[in-house]
Amino acid sequence: DLSAENAVSLKYQFEQTGGGEEPDPGDDLVIEFRDAFNNWIELGRHPGSEGGLPVFTRKEIVLPPSAYHRDFRVRFRNLGAPGLDDWFVDDILLDVFAPSDIEVVPTALSVKLFEDDEATRGVTLNNLGVGDLFYRLRIVPPEFQNASGLAPKYPTSFYKTVLLKGENDWRRGRDATLGRGGPDNFGYTWRDSDDPSGPDFVWEDISATGARIPDLGDDENVGFYSVGFAFPFYDSVFTQFRVCSNGFISFTSDAVSFSNNPIPSVNSINDLIAPFWDDLDPRPGAVYYHSNGQRLVVQWQNVVRTGSSDPFTFQLILFANGNIRFQYLQMGASNNFATIGMQNHDGSDGVEIAFNTTYVKNNLAVQIERPASWLSYSPKVGMLTSGGTLDLAIHFSASGLQPDSSYRAELRIESNDLDEPSVAVQLTLEVLALGDSTGHFPPPETTAVKYPIVIAEALIDGEALASGDEIGVFTSSGKVAGALVWQRAQPGRVVVYGDDPATPDVEGFLPGEPMYFRIWDSSRNDRDYPATANYMRGDGRFGTADSAHISVLEATTTFARQKALQSNWSWISFNVQPASTDIEELLAETKQLRIMKDGAGHTFIPNLINTIQNLDPLAGYSVYLAAPDSIAISGEEVPPFTPIPLQAGWNFISYLPVHDILAPRALHSIYDQLVIAKNDLGGFFIPSVGNINTIGDMAPGEGYKVYMSAPDTLVYPLAELPSAQPKVVATTKISFGAMPQHFKAMQRGSDNYIVIVQAAKVQGASLRAGDEIGIFTKHGELVGAGVWPQSGALGIAAWRAEMNNEEARGFELGAPMRFKIWRQEDNLEVEMLGSFQRGDGAFGSEAFALVELHDSALPETFALEQNYPNPFARSNGAAGLATTIRYALPQPSHVTIRIYDVLGQLVRTLQDEPQIAGFHRVQWDGRNAAGREVAAGVYFYRMQAGKFEATRKLAIVR
């Protein structure tokens, strides 16, 4: 009773012959079931002529909908003569299973590649059913749907026959006059030169150029010999082969069988390729082989069949893409007793072109094609549980294919889905030709990592490109990785090259790196301009899609740069070349400008002085504005990778890229000679001190000062370099930019001097986070300050100014620096001394200063400091509340510190013991000698140390 079911399969095992003779043609095994109307319906059939099956073949048949009723019956019938035991059937069972439900997305893939390029697309396989989904993939050429199909099955005796040497073979194979065949289970197909779409016969004689296999005798198998390349064969890849005198090669077997068999067969030779497998003797002639790294030719020259003197000359050719060709130059009269074809490693699959039948003839060529040799995929078989998802990788390769041509195939996904047992995915590959070599853009460095780009339309200032204009594709570092000459009659096609990971150099794009385009207008001489791409496929990064398709690529020749500025000093630059470079003309609308200076000491003061004269787009400038304003300049782009020559010492430079770039990466080209780079905010980048970078990103419109240890040339990248580039990662942690609350220095001036404080200690104790360091001139003017970080070092910018109307003058070059620290805990300022690792303690003595700070070794005089905090709140029973009293001893002394009330009565003795020279402190928690809290009010603390006496007042509040 199957009326309650909807997913049942019939499983059984069967064997030919059973206990009697093997079945003959017509002795078919038929499996039938009875439907609800008592009709017997055929489920399956095994022909009696189906030979070569292994013992106990397993079979499963899913029952159709009409099988699910209350009185299901199944029967196995032999259609042969009554009484003959031709078949043996066992292990019959009905298996109730949960149905699977396959979903395939998408059902068509179309890829455009240039010649020799490759790409991978995805097909998603989903199981929407409640049962397990078992699937298998095959590639089927559309044009082979009406071909001969799988290799024929012969009676079992064909596969078990072993002939004696020279014995006549009684077996006869099927007719082989169709001219095409396949596919086998793997997907191999074949066509010969008689087929309209078959190969041409072009004999490749290697008898003079190939290597002769020495001393090859009758029934010998020798090797191994090198294929010369990696040859894909079924599921394996081979690089060496063996040759047998009997007209075949094998990649693994040393068999010498002179008795040919049908294929595929477990009794035949493994990993076999047989252009003419028969009992041959090579000794009247020879066997040669030759490989050029792309194809291997093996040639049997003037060999004879045993018992005959007719010469046979034929060859096989292996191609790097997995295709195989047989060619027959001269075949003797007795050529209808041979096996022609191939089979896999265990005889479970193969292509039989001919077996013991009239087929070969002179000047015949046979091409065996790997299933869509431009396609590969994985996995090929598998299982998905309910709700499971699998991404199938479909790999397309245009290697060796004809450009300007299209290729089609069908990926057939077969499964146990009752409703859709086979789903087809249509696959199309279009191979595109490359354009002409460019003249303006240098040729790229080619690698095996390629990315095709198709550009439908290209414009410059809104006008279509003319034939002969060029498009270049650049990496972030400014390297040309692809270029093409534009032809108006067709879309632009360019192969862009990626980095070869096996080499130490960076030849092209790294995976995921942004791509930058520039267009050269052939009518504008040597100028090329940046272009923006609108993508139909791809996202502008290398390799994130199988190919990129751009709908419009447009370049602009004129750019407007506007820089908004606050009052005070700023460092600026402009990466455009205006039509007029006259400074007065360019800055006429910036009404708040008071002064402009370049790095060579030239000055522009509106309506007063102009020694700058003309704008240099490669230079930086410092400007002072009395109030917020802006500077706007228009002109042609200055290419970001324009070289900027630098001298030893200080250089004031422009920033040319249009994108923000992290300072270490922007300055990568001068890394080895760079001492320091700094901006107008006091940020800096110092390679020699752990790549510390407080500039962050360098940005368009900003000017920068760099100090060089030797002359060099700066070439900016186009944009942020990938992280794989060396020497770009900051490794030293440094604090910069926290706003001091105690030391409030001038925040900005016309120039700055960078001081890096690596360590700071007072009385042997390091500063705590939140403590502050101030830098002073010899006159006591505070010119720079910073807040000590939780960890690492502290960078401080000391400032100077040059405007006469500024209150703060800042530091003077060559004048000594003074340091003070402020400890947040006890509100204490301490004068500090510096130990310089770089610099000598004077402003500007080096490109930057590197210093460690410490307090004086001993105080010069006795001192009693004011307590802190003062006044302080009474504890009211709370623990840990106290005020700190600091004092200094220039020499060892017996110290007493006592607290008195306003009546002069002793409240508590805090200190009464000898102490060493140095800085000391003691705390009072507001309690008397008995441990009770004292009343709010005014108290006095008195210190005695030798002859030194001092008294100070403190207060306690509620």
pLDDT digits (tens, 9 = 90+) for 136-148: 888 876 655 444 4
879 has a pLDDT exceeding 70:
no
Q: Which of 34-38, 146-150, 177-181, 326-330 has the lowest mean pLDDT?
A: 146-150
Integer Cα distance of 916 and 893 in angstroms: 7
DSSP string, 747-785: ---SEEEEEEEEEEEETTEEPPTT-EEEEE-TT--EEEE
The model's pLDDT over 83-111, given as tens digits with 9 standing for 90+, comes to 666 788 889 999 888 888 999 999 999 88
- Residue 808, pLDDT > 70, answer no
pLDDT at residue 363 greater than cutoff 50: yes
Contact 680, 703 (CB under 8 A): yes
Domain boundaries, the chain: 8-96, 102-141+374-431, 188-369, 435-548, 559-670+704-714, 734-855, 863-957
Average pLDDT over residues 38-43: 93
Q: Does residue 404 surpass a pLDDT of 80? A: no
Percent of the chain topping pLDDT 90? 56
pLDDT at residue 17, as a whole number: 66
The answer to whether the CB of 99 falls within 8 A of the CB of 129 is yes
pLDDT number for residue 116: 74
pLDDT digits (tens, 9 = 90+) for 524-546: 767 889 999 999 999 999 998 87
Rounded CA separation 696/689 (Å): 16
Domain spanning 734-855: which superfamily? Immunoglobulins (2.60.40.10)
The arithmetic mean of pLDDT across residues 355-364, rounded, is 93
Separation of CA 470 from chain center: 28
More confident residue, 580 or 175: 580
Report the chain's terminal Cα–Cα distance, integer Å.
Answer: 96
729 pLDDT above the threshold of 50: no
User: β-strand 211-212 against 375-378: which pairing, if any?
Assistant: unpaired
pLDDT at 281 over 70: yes
Contacts of 535 (CB under 8 A, 6+ apart): 548, 549, 550, 551
Query: What is the pLDDT confidence band of residue 803, given thresholds at 50, 70 and 90?
Result: low
Which DSSP symbol is given to 514? B
What CA–CA distance (Å, rounded) separates 367 from 178?
14
- Averaged pLDDT for residues 352-378: 90
Find out whether 234 and 184 touch, Cβ atoms under 8 Å: no
pLDDT digits (tens, 9 = 90+) for 833-858: 888 888 888 898 889 999 999 887 67
Predicted pLDDT of residue 147:
43
| More confidently predicted of 367 and 437 | 367
Q: Is residue 115 pLDDT above 80, yes or no?
A: no
- Tell me what pLDDT residue 553 has: 96
- State whether CATH 2.60.40.4070 applies to domain 863-957: yes
pLDDT at position 176 over 80: no
DSSP string, 174-234: ----SSEEB--SS--EEEETTSTTS--------TTTSEE-TT--TT-EEEEEEEEEEEEET
Confidence at 826, pLDDT banded by 50, 70, 90:
confident
b/e per residue 384-413 (b: at least 16 CB within 10 A): beeeeeeebebebbbebbeeeeebebbbbb
Domains 102-141+374-431 and 435-548 equal at CATH topology level: yes
For residues 793 and 758, the answer to whether their CB atoms sit within 8 Å is: yes
- What is the band of 374 on the pLDDT scale with cuts at 50, 70, 90? confident
pLDDT score for 807: 55
pLDDT of 50 > 60? The answer is: no
Helix (H) or strand (E) holding 799: strand 793-800
Grade residue 726 by pLDDT with cuts at 50, 70 and 90.
very low
What CATH code is assigned to 435-548? 2.60.40
Query: Nearest to residue 22, comparing CAs of 75, 88, 77?
Result: 88
Query: Cα separation of 169 and 163, whole Å?
Result: 7
* One-letter amino acid for residue 720 of the chain: E
The dihedrals phi and psi of 584, each to the nearest 5 degrees, come to: -60, -40
pLDDT at 595 over 80: yes
Lowest mean pLDDT among 161-165, 453-457, 496-500: 161-165
If DSSP codes are grouped into helix, strand and coil, which group holds residue 524? helix
pLDDT recorded at residue 142: 67
Confidence at residue 306, expressed as pLDDT on a 0 to 100 scale: 85
pLDDT score recorded for residue 152: 59
pLDDT digits (tens, 9 = 90+) for 663-693: 999 999 999 999 999 999 999 999 988 788 9
Under 8 Å between Cβ of 919 and 908: no
pLDDT attached to residue 46: 87
Residue 771 has pLDDT above 60, yes or no: yes
Whole-number Cα distances in Å, 675 to 14, 271, 695, 837: 84, 66, 14, 15
Domain 102-141+374-431 has CATH 2.40.70.10: no
In this structure, the number of other CB atoms found within 10 A of the CB of residue 897 comes to: 21
CA–CA separation, 868 and 825 (whole Å): 9
